[in-house]
Amino acid sequence: MARAVVMVWFCARSTCSLSEPFAFSAPITNTRYKARFSARLFGTSKSKDDMSEKEIKAVDIRSELDNAFDYEGRLPSTRSISPDFRSGFVGIIGAPNMGKSTLLNALIEMDLCVATNRPQTTRHSILGVLTTTESQLCFLDTPGVIEDPAYKLQEGMMEAVKGVLKSSDIRVIVTDLFSTPIPDDELFSKVQKSQKQKPCIVVVNKCDLADKVNPNAKVNSEEGRTVTIVDAVAKWRGFLPDAMAIIPVSASNGPNDPGVVAVRRLLTGGPGLPAALRDLGRPVPGMFAYGVKGLTDEDAKLMLPKSPPLYDEETLTDRSERYVKKQSLWIGLICHSFQ
């Protein structure tokens, strides 16, 4: 219905512009053109009695459009929203192959993004929406950050990451048990510099592998690498002292992994964040910022701004149903071929 109204609106616009060409005396900017065009077309200063049938039709279509869409063309929610409702964008950022897409799928409990062991599987940012009764998280999965983009596609991918870094209200930095940031990485230093202004949490992923590596391997390991959860958390606390939390996670265990549950509750502002953190086992030193012993639902709520939902509560992604089906097929094929 909304699409049909838009079509009619465009037709009305083009008919008017063809039949009533403008006689502008001076070159005008696109903005001025639009302002004069819409003033002429919709004639806000005119009463309906002075309008032609075509103008009245245009005004009616415009008010129908205004009623159909909320700000920025998004569909308004039909349910009543509490004034304490929170919503915002959560950027999922990290080096290639850390498990960003696996984490997003686990957080929203949906196979939205393809996750493979091939680095740079994700090529553009993908939106996944999680709506609860009190908040809406708009997750943005991003391509893995690389130091020196070698070709145009990679440059574009890094631009996508920069965009997400800038526009997200919360940053989730995903690393794995073994990795530390690339020294002098431009994007990571941006995160470091703004960690006081923009809430950030670190996910130390692939913790299931902790039992499979020799803890003494760190003695001979190359500089910066960690192999235990304790070391990884301590190291990341050193890089990001103001990070709200550093959570050990095994994203490939799915939506009910205790780490995934803790991250979800932290981002939604509870309920039940302290219990979820307790379920992680004995607190690892450095999980919380210096001097902080634990986090409450109220602490977590401060991360997201108070705002009505940005998307209709039925929205799960900005991708089409066809895209999601294709992803599931891909995931199925990949799992099958590696069995």
Ligand X SMILES: Nc1nc2c(ncn2[C@@H]2O[C@H](COP(=O)(O)OP(=O)(O)OP(=O)(O)O)[C@@H](O)[C@H]2O)c(=O)[nH]1
Residues that bind ligand X (CB under 6 A): 94, 96-102, 115-117, 119-122, 143-144, 205-206, 208-209, 250-252
Q: Are 301 and 64 in contact (CB under 8 A)?
A: no
Residue in the shown chain whose Cβ atom is closest to ligand X: 144
Q: How far is the CB of 184 from ligand X (least distance, A)?
A: 20
Q: Extract the tokens encoding 135.
A: 């908040």
User: Which stretch in 119-127, 184-192, 259-267, 281-289 sits in contact with Mg ion by CB under 5 A?
Assistant: 119-127
Residue 99 contact among ligand X, Mg ion, none, beta carbon within 5 to 8 Å by kind: ligand X
User: Which stretch in 98-106, 232-240, 252-260, 265-273 sits in contact with Mg ion by CB under 5 A?
Assistant: 98-106
Residue 86 contact among ligand X, Mg ion, none, beta carbon within 5 to 8 Å by kind: none
Q: How far is the CB of 263 from Mg ion (least distance, A)?
A: 16
Alpha-carbon span 114 to 233, nearest angstrom: 27
Q: Which is nearer to ligand X, 88 or 99 (CB)?
A: 99
User: Which stretch in 31-39, 85-93, 116-124, 182-190 sits in contact with Mg ion by CB under 5 A?
Assistant: 116-124
Alpha-carbon span 22 to 189, nearest angstrom: 51
Residue 250 contact among ligand X, Mg ion, none, beta carbon within 5 to 8 Å by kind: ligand X
Residue 251 contact among Mg ion, ligand X, none, beta carbon within 5 to 8 Å by kind: ligand X
Q: Which is nearer to Mg ion, 88 or 128 (CB)?
A: 128
The pair phi, psi for residue 171, each rounded to 5°, is: -110, 130
Q: Which is nearer to Mg ion, 10 or 323 (CB)?
A: 323
User: Which stretch in 20-28, 65-73, 121-129, 217-225 sits in contact with Mg ion by CB under 5 A?
Assistant: 121-129
Q: How far is the CB of 204 from ligand X (least distance, A)?
A: 10
- Residue 240 carries which side chain, given as an amino acid letter? L
Q: Extract the tokens encoding 140.
A: 């943005």
- Residues contacting Mg ion: total by CB under 5 A: 4
Out of 77, 87, 105, 122, point to the residue binding Mg ion (CB under 5 A): 122
Q: Which residues bind Mg ion (CB under 5 A)?
A: 100-101, 121-122
